[in-house]
Chain A
Amino acid sequence: MKRTGLIPFAISALVLLLTALYVFPRLRMTSDVQLLLPPAADREALAVISQVADSELARLMVIAVGAPDRATAARASRELEQELRNEPRVIKQLESLDAGPRSGSDRAIYEAYYPRRLAFFTETEAEVAAATSDEGLRAAARRLKEQLAQPLSTLVTQIAPGDPTLSFTRLFERVQASQGDAVTLHEGRFVARDEPWAVMFLRTKARAFDSQAQAPVLAGIQDAFERVNARFDGQLHMKQSGANRFAVRMEKAISEDLSRVSTLSVVGLGLLLFLLFRSGWLLLVATIPLGAGMLVGLAVTTAVYGSVHGVTLAFGASLLGVALDYVEHLYCHHAVAPSPEGPAGTLRGLAPALITGAVTTLIGFVALGGSGFRGLQEVALFSSTGLIAALVTTFSMLPFVLPRGQSEVALRTRIVGWLARLFEALQAQRTRLWILPALALVFSAVGLSRAHLSDDMMLGQLDPALLAEDKHVRALVARFEESRFVLAAGSDEQAALKANDAVAELLGRAVARGELGGYNSVAKLLPSQAHQEAVDRAARRALGDGKALLTAFEAEGFRADAFEPFLHALKADPPPALEYAELLDSPLGLLLRSQRVTLSDRVGFVSMLRDVKDPQALARAVSAIPGAKLIDQRSQLKAAYLAYQLRTFQLLLAGAAGVLLLLALRYRDLRKTLAAFLPSVLGAVVTVAMLSMLGHGIDLVAMAALLMVISMGVDYGVFLVDASESKGERAIALLSVFMAATTTVLGFGLLALSQHPMLRVIGLTAWVGMTACALLAPTTLVLLASPSPSPNHNAEAKS
């Protein structure tokens, strides 16, 4: 018999080939956590959070090597550094590795600051007057004399003739203090102050979330450590901290999840197809719409976003699993009651139900895209374009490759018989079927009483051990809060530094009042140009020709002629103000870079905080400074997530309304519309109740999955409504619903076993939801208990 559909098949195959040629050279996977950050009302705060997550700070890893004592830890640190510098996988991405102080730091500080000592005469312009008063100068002279009496006086005698008030020495101490007090030195190596851990700071060239670049680095570090540990008889242990570890772990988890879900789904589907159709060819054919959907989804997502997130691929692939339902419906109808016109004819008969199912699902996807949440938008784009492609290829390609007839399979015949009898029995007993929705409602009432929203971002749930290790290492090296900092931003660097000066002044006062435990700001190292010039000007004006200073120092026993270099500096032109770029190449550059962020159109500097007593009061005080803001990452992200939950809930309602409208248009009968629609809504409610009873809060991702449950679960209702209209094909429809439910529940069940927290939530929600929808599908029959079908209904049944 002549095969039909060659031309549509060939055209589709050509389009898919071209799509593949477009996709594969450009395909770039990402596990970037930034995509999982929501945009929100406070866009600047979240932009900063996002920038910090992608800044130099994020590219910094801390490697801690624990040993029985500090001396061993220091030795191990030295050996590990050497191993790391010889490890090709590390060297390829190594920007810097610091395990001890860099040589030349002191010299660099001297050269940058000593010529500008008058610009750093005091910390603020206001302090100049007191420092240059008679009493202030006498006090400075006494301090200098005390210093000269110390064993370390030789340094002082080098500096004091040009800097009698020792402003450079104070600045040097500020610089030292700004490098933190949690890490100290032992035998030339950085070690934790309170524990026998050597610490190393490794910065990579690649972005922290470039997991493909970061994975070899982490493997190289591990191997290098194991080689060193073997030389120390296994008495060392290593802990690490770094955003790259989470990125690599996430990608690994997604990759393993995808691999497991896809492999087991294919095995499950293959088994089912073999049992019901005894055909391997059908399994191959089933992959056409699925593959086409994936390919088009990847192409469109890559074209729009430039990359595809791992979560998109995993979630989207699971959603595209719905495309298998179309194939299964086609197989069942074609096997049990094939059209005389062949597969194309069978498909034409199924078209209204398939298209209705696809459109209801698309409504859900489109609603998901309206969330404005970058991660969900990507999933929506991938899934909706993929679904359309899957549906189109089902119609354009499958008729050509499906065999015209299929052999009889005893098991399939028996199942069809059982389902037909079951359907008859259910219809006969449909008044008793009320027990199903009644039970569901009781269960929902109990479960919903425990329902609560969850604002957990899930980012830390991936691997609690990894998170705990990260926290421990951070605690070893820094005593500043991780999630709270002050941003001082401006249109350019100087404007940002000016705001930062004001922030530092405010934070200094807060520390003095005991409202803040401490802070770390670049203002101590790099005040704005205006600030430096103001202090320099004020100091020169107050000191004049230096006679007052000489008088004060003479009164304390100094010889006036000792300070000629200082008098000379007072007369000389002030040097240009110290700028950010000048310090970048110095050892202080590393410190400065980690506290500077580039916003879309502005520059900002970040001040780290410790022990904030009253965050709200501090936030209010900081916000009074133009360009400054207290950023509380945790609370701001939580607020943003909650805002998005509300929006996603609205979308859930809108999506459900869209599906209802579509069904109403399709059936033009309220009873049938509700019969097809309500079981899926009830399924979603039962899902919320079940998750609540299991102790899960309903978060943004679960809400998105619920939308999918309604839009996909409604398909069972649609097929049951259609089946109840058409007695001849009722059993076939039931068989296809049975198959679709089995494969869908299997797919989402496997996704629920994911390691990745987001995929796990999606999988669990969708699995519970689709199972509930399948189990509650007979409710459709209860709702269909109408004595007289409408005229429209008859017309529909014929179609």
Chain B
Amino acid sequence: MSARVLACLLCLAFAQPGFLAAQPSVEQAKAEPVRELSQLMAAFSRMQGLEARFVEEKRLGMLARPLSSEGRLYFARPGLLLRRVEQPQASEVIITPQELRVKDANGEQRIDLASRPDVRPFVESLTWLLAGDGKALAGVYKLEFTPPQAAGPWQLTLTPKAEPLAHLIAHIRIVGQGLAVSEIQVREKGGDETVTRITSANPARKFTASELSSLFGVKLKPSRK
């Protein structure tokens, strides 16, 4: 169960909007040079909401061929995240500050995060990322930032420092250009790998109250215009 929750959170944590496009527009963000991790972190905290399309490929040792899926990601403050898979089979994963909800054809499962002290730090790492709190993030992961070479992309590699995350995950690599994230790779200890590519993003997404309710299942005031 712990592993199940962890895996889910990891996929979400590193496909979360701060990484995807912490800037007013993707094109502008790509143009802005990033030389330091602190520069990236500072940009993340400024974003209020986001909607992005993604394509995911899972390369699993059990399967002869990779599994592909695609869908959308939604992010709203404070820490609401929806990962909606549209193809080939619909499913949703929603994170709120209190719980994790997983919906698929078999029904819905809710996981109360406060009852999982083993998992909670990873949820909080989401908050650290959104807040641009590199210091807190560094408490859980070893951070390795590789600046871009010429016009190439930068890379941020996160390596879990301790169990139980270290038991499952070898590393997470985020690749981006300027302030825009283009790819997230999650490499598991067993050799399985998940690669998520961001195909388009709206980093200035505003959510109405009814959208907040229908997408995240919460009643909150809409984000500021």
Contacts and interface: CB of A to CB of B under 8 A. Distances in A.
Contact of A148 (B67, B98, B99): B67
A154 B62 contact: no
A665 B188 CA distance: 100
Contacts of A100: 114-115
A547 B217 CA distance: 46
Contacts of A135: none
A156 B62 CA distance: 11
Contact of B91 (A151, A160, A562): A151
B93 A187 contact: no
Contact of A157 (B60, B65, B98): B60
B185 to A, nearest CB: 14
B7 A187 contact: no
A149 B114 contact: no
A559 B4 contact: no
A551 B209 CA distance: 52
Interface string B79-109: 0000101001101010000110010110000
B88 A149 contact: yes
Contacts of B168: 154
B206 interface: no
Nearest to A106: B1
Contact of A188 (B12, B89, B110, B112): B112
A7 interface: no
A74 B98 CA distance: 11
A187 B112 contact: yes
A188 B120 CA distance: 11
A150 B109 CA distance: 13
B103 to A, nearest CB: 10
B166 interface: no
A111 interface: no
Interface string A553-573: 000011100100000000000
B2 A106 contact: yes
A184 interface: yes
A668 interface: no
B215 interface: no
A185 B62 contact: no
A622 B2 CA distance: 40
Contact of B64 (A71, A158, A557): A557
B4 A160 contact: no
B110 A184 contact: yes
A188 B99 CA distance: 10
B150 interface: no
Contacts, number: 103
Given A148-B60, A149-B69, A154 B114 contact: no
B173 to A, nearest CB: 17
B117 interface: yes
B114 A157 contact: no
A148 B114 contact: no
Interface in A151-181: 151-158, 160-161, 172
B188 A154 contact: yes
A146 interface: yes
B61 interface: yes
A413 B114 CA distance: 84
A405 interface: no
B114 A155 contact: no
A707 to B, nearest CB: 59
Given A557-B65, A558-B62, A150 B3 contact: no
B77 interface: no
A74 B7 CA distance: 27
Interface in B56-74: 58, 60-65, 67, 69
A151 B110 contact: no
B11 A151 contact: yes
A158 B190 CA distance: 9
A154 B186 CA distance: 11
Contact of B102 (A101, A148, A152, A156): A152
Given A106-B2, A186-B98, A187-B114, A151 B12 contact: yes
B3 A158 contact: yes
A186 B96 CA distance: 12
A145 interface: yes
A333 interface: no
Nearest to B98: A187
Interface string B1-22: 1111111101110000000000
B63 A559 contact: yes
A754 to B, nearest CB: 47
B110 A157 contact: no
A407 interface: no
Interface in A613-664: none
A74 B99 CA distance: 14
B144 interface: no
A788 interface: no
A756 interface: no
Interface in A89-103: 100-101, 103
A540 interface: no
A492 B101 CA distance: 43
A309 interface: no
A184 B93 CA distance: 18
B192 interface: yes
B1 A157 contact: no
A249 interface: no
Nearest to B112: A185
A151 B63 contact: no
A158 B60 CA distance: 12
Nearest to B192: A157
Interface in A4-58: none
A202 B8 CA distance: 34
Contact of A154 (B4, B12, B116, B117): B4
B11 A157 contact: no
A188 B112 CA distance: 6
A189 interface: yes
Contacts of A156: 4
A155 B64 contact: no
A559 B11 CA distance: 24
B83 A185 contact: no
A149 B67 contact: yes
The CB with the most chain B CB atoms within 10 A, among A152, A153, A184, is that of: A152
Contacts of A161: 62
Contacts of A148: 58, 60, 62-63, 67
A154 B6 contact: yes
A153 B10 CA distance: 12
A514 to B, nearest CB: 20
A101 B115 contact: yes
Contacts of A158: 3
Contact of B83 (A101, A103, A151): A151
A186 B4 contact: no
A185 B115 contact: yes
Contacts of A103: 117
A189 B114 contact: yes
Contacts of A184: 110, 112
A100 B113 CA distance: 12
A468 B40 CA distance: 59
A293 B41 CA distance: 88
A74 B1 CA distance: 23
A186 B12 CA distance: 21
A78 to B, nearest CB: 9
Contacts of A558: 62-64
Given A186-B98, A186-B114, 6 more contacts: A148-B67, A152-B7, A155-B7, A185-B99, A559-B62, A559-B63
27 contacts: A74-B114, A100-B114, A100-B115, A106-B1, A149-B58, A151-B7, A151-B83, A152-B8, A152-B93, A153-B58, A154-B8, A155-B7, A157-B61, A157-B190, A161-B62, A184-B112, A185-B114, A185-B115, A186-B114, A187-B114, A189-B114, A557-B64, A557-B65, A558-B62, A559-B61, A562-B61, A562-B62
Q: Which 8 A-B pairs have the closest CB atoms?
A: A154-B7, A188-B114, A155-B4, A185-B112, A187-B114, A188-B115, A106-B1, A562-B62
